[in-house]
Chains A and B, each alone.
Chain A
């Protein structure tokens, strides 16, 4: 079942065409990696999907519904979770409170003045933290966490509204190699268990080829290849873009 359908997306910045006519889909339970060399338009493309940038042309549909002109917070309400390249968490709160915030927002309890925040959705929050292996650190302040742990917290926060689509921008950036594999394995497992469609961008090719079900490759704003890891690995165009012309046999 197609969860995300991107059709003919284009965007220019002051005459420079950052993204040109890009189309792809992501199905439920599938991990799609978007890769490409620096300047290929990955970030632009990604930010058009999550609503931070408005496309010049083309459409982004989530479960058949257009996401055009929706703010990030509205997109989230439809069931789209996200994590950031540089983690964005609430530094003055504990790990548990970070997850509770997402749950409070999901249950539309933000304008409650009289209940105590700390008593809200404790069990749900702990269950989510359990899934990402952060339950034992639930009471620690987010500002004191190691970077890898922050990434896990973000994942738990992103899962709080039971998303059907998860957008992960460079999920393993800034992490040690062994942590990267662990985090992506976790993400993949969660996605398959809950049938979540995942779109992620990534620099680390090991991570991409180990964990992605399918890969799309961008170069100079255009989609140049698409397919299973083995197909993409064998694709001549991709080898040329990544390794340079004439390196086809390297």
Chain B
């Protein structure tokens, strides 16, 4: 690499860092004050891009940027007032779910408003040229961005340290309850912070339009990047976000510049994993203050009652007899519901009783699916053997990733699981020779005796029912109790000789193994596998299923999976803007049943009995 191109890559990195820093700073600010991880932050960035592109034609680029940022700030304020305000007291996971629903709604809004084609933005008037650096040319606009990032850092720092409002924000970040007790008007503070965070995201997006086209796919990729930056820098630390944005942007720039663009994502997430293991609270982060909110303890686990067992038995018997009266599409849908039920139950196993909130469970589902396809087509193994071996690959993956994950807890754990899922996804996406890259693998069909829809449905039913029964039964075993013990009180668990990390590690691997079973079954049911199989959205689907059903109930994930899979299937087939509809349904459910649907029904039943 010549000196010139080294300098160019370095400057590219600096320019890329500016927008990244703005998004991450907004995310961090919002988290610091409201304790909400805003999944929709990338969507705000995307809206900033589209609005700026749309306005630039009429009012010119330099006016379009602040207009777009302010418009996005207004959207943010509205979202806070209409939605988030109602769920500050809800469990962390439901808040995340609500913001994910916003991602879906925003995506479909942009699709409806601006169409599915990428839209190129204008050059920045006055900065459209390039300057010569050695023999290479470097865009003037990028030089402007390099300066703008630190300027925003300075502006934010001044706002936070020199204004009364900034003092309140810092006070609330340090100790929310205390700030409230001292009479800070939380309502407007929260709205203000959310609007500021949204403004930064919108600004970051708007400033990018001379560099890259506005696209519908930017939302999740920006928010994943922002997660990495925020976690590497330390949640709630603006300075940390700046340092981390520089670091991540440089890694990206040099990976691309050196011709290793395919390892960019991997490099980025490896850095994150390293930082989290060495400095669990990020480079400049502090050990998070414990919220003193009221916590509701879970009720003790009681063995299922006879009527409950009978009802489950009746459901199983009905499903078993169903092929006699029904066929075709119903069986295909039910096959899908069954294997997603297993996926959801395995996720619940690790999230509920073990208390490890995984945001990347789809990685193990995907590993199972890909392993099945690769064993069948590349290794020429018989289908039955491929199906049996594939889950072990998923379990092995979970064993490796889990080793890192169980060292963290709470939101940091969630981010790390997401990061690992993203690594797995990018490896699959980029390793053409083995996985077929973005095209995936086709021709993953079951053995002839399982080829009919009925036969495959019955296989799925038997395998999933057995697997779910095993996982549920395991919760009543000493191991299941030990997982709950480690979740309830790590201090006490340690003091009675329990190796909590080893227990959680085993639980994590077990959940991964069972997700792998679901994934392998999925591969053969579809006949093809694509990277979509293990994308972030699939992990979130799993979360939605578990949370819809209610995390405190055992059967919840089952009903959640059935409801969500059916809903997605029905809506996707009949409605153009199905994402928005699903997002709206999720929002409604979160607002109406903060304990999950099954939890809600359970409460009503108990109330009736009492």
Contact = CB atoms under 8 A, between A and B. Distances in A.
B588 interface: no
A101 B494 contact: no
Best-buried of A117, A118, A141 by chain B (most CB within 10 Å): A117
A71 B494 contact: yes
A119 to B, nearest CB: 10
A90 B485 contact: yes
Contact of A101 (B298, B303, B485, B491): B485
B478 interface: yes
Tell me the dominant secondary structure on chain B's binding face. helix
B260 interface: no
B302 to A, nearest CB: 9
A157 B492 contact: yes
Interface string A91-106: 1111001001110111
B477 interface: yes
B497 A105 contact: yes
B334 to A, nearest CB: 29
B478 A117 contact: yes
A179 to B, nearest CB: 21
B479 interface: yes
Best-buried of B298, B299, B474, B492 by chain A (most CB within 10 Å): B492
Interface string A76-114: 110000101000111111100100111011100111111
B476 interface: yes
Interface string B281-308: 0000000000000000111110100000
Best-buried of B299, B303, B484, B497 by chain A (most CB within 10 Å): B497
Contacts of A84: 491-492, 495
Contact of B488 (A76, A90, A109): A90
Best-buried of B301, B484, B493, B496 by chain A (most CB within 10 Å): B496
B491 A88 contact: yes
A102 B476 contact: no
A133 interface: no
Contacts of B484: 90, 92-93
A26 B192 CA distance: 59
A161 interface: yes
A92 B299 contact: yes
A112 B478 CA distance: 6
B488 A92 contact: yes
B479 A73 contact: no
Contacts of B509: none
B501 to A, nearest CB: 10
Contacts of A118: 303, 476
B479 A111 contact: yes
Nearest to A102: B496
A105 B503 contact: no
A104 B477 contact: no
A143 interface: yes
Given A93-B485, A94-B300, A112 B494 contact: no
A113 B474 contact: yes
Interface string B492-512: 111111110001001000000
A23 interface: no
A1 interface: no
Q: For the side of the interface on A, what is the size category?
A: 35 or more
B92 to A, nearest CB: 18
A117 B499 CA distance: 18
B489 interface: yes
Contact of A115 (B478, B482, B498): B478
B577 interface: no
A111 B300 contact: no
B492 A89 contact: yes
Given A89-B489, A101-B481, A110-B482, A76 B503 contact: no
A151 B240 CA distance: 43
Contacts of B478: 104, 109-112, 115, 117, 120
Contacts of A72: 494-495
Contacts of A109: 478
A97 B300 contact: yes
A76 B473 CA distance: 29
Contacts of B499: 73
B480 interface: yes
A160 interface: yes
A140 to B, nearest CB: 9
B497 A73 contact: yes
Nearest to A91: B297
B417 to A, nearest CB: 23
B514 to A, nearest CB: 13
B477 A105 contact: no
A116 interface: yes
Interface of B: 297-301, 303, 473-474, 476-482, 484-485, 488-489, 491-499, 503, 506
Interface of A: 71-74, 76-77, 82, 84, 88-94, 97, 100-102, 104-106, 109-118, 120, 141, 143, 157, 160-161
Closest 5 CB pairs of A and B: A143-B297, A88-B492, A91-B297, A92-B298, A90-B488
30 contacts: A72-B495, A73-B497, A74-B497, A82-B495, A88-B489, A88-B491, A89-B489, A89-B492, A91-B489, A92-B297, A92-B299, A92-B301, A93-B488, A100-B481, A101-B485, A101-B493, A104-B481, A106-B496, A110-B498, A111-B479, A111-B482, A113-B474, A116-B476, A117-B478, A118-B303, A118-B476, A120-B478, A141-B300, A157-B492, A160-B496
Given A90-B488, A93-B485, 19 more contacts: A73-B497, A76-B496, A84-B495, A89-B488, A90-B493, A92-B299, A92-B300, A101-B481, A101-B482, A101-B493, A104-B482, A105-B482, A106-B496, A111-B478, A112-B477, A115-B478, A116-B477, A118-B476, A161-B496
